[in-house]
Amino acid sequence: VIGGPPAVPYCSVQKLPYNTDEFSVAGALLGEPLKVVQAKTVDLQVPADAEIVIEGYIPTDSLEPEGPFGESHGHVNLQEFNPYMNVTAITRKKDAHFVSIISQVTPSES
């Protein structure tokens, strides 16, 4: 998901105990249950306040080539084989916002 409560991306990358529900932890940080809805094409709940939801499947039996490309620290990352996603749906709010930062060559304030 892109957008929605900042507690969601914060919790999604934390090292929580196995079988801990990240949405429950996000709700605890918010002080109320996180509002969720059923995704359209996959058997998952997604945050109801997300700006954009990208659904799909990540095959576990194959990789695709990626790169080479420049990294934010000024070095080049050579071609690697990485997982990919087969997208099955993209949904969004009517006036969705995509918020991001632009990472610059170090040193920078990004």
| Assigned domain for 17 exists | yes
Closest-CA residue to 54 (of 23, 98, 18, 90): 90
Per-residue pLDDT tens digits for 29-78: 999 999 999 999 999 999 999 999 999 999 999 999 998 988 767 788 89
| Assigned domain for 39 exists | yes
Number of domains into which the chain is organized: 1
Higher-confidence residue of 88 and 3: namely 88
Going along 1-110, which residue ranges are E strands?
36-38, 45-47, 52-57, 64-66, 69-70, 76-77, 80-82, 86-92
Higher-confidence residue of 107 and 94: namely 94
Q: What is the 8-class DSSP label of residue 70?
A: E
| Assigned domain for 74 exists | no
- For residues 33 and 95, give the distance between their C-alpha atoms in angstroms, rounded to a whole number: 25
| Assigned domain for 103 exists | no
pLDDT of the residue at 110: 61
Q: Give the residue numbers spanning the domain of 15.
A: 7-58+87-92
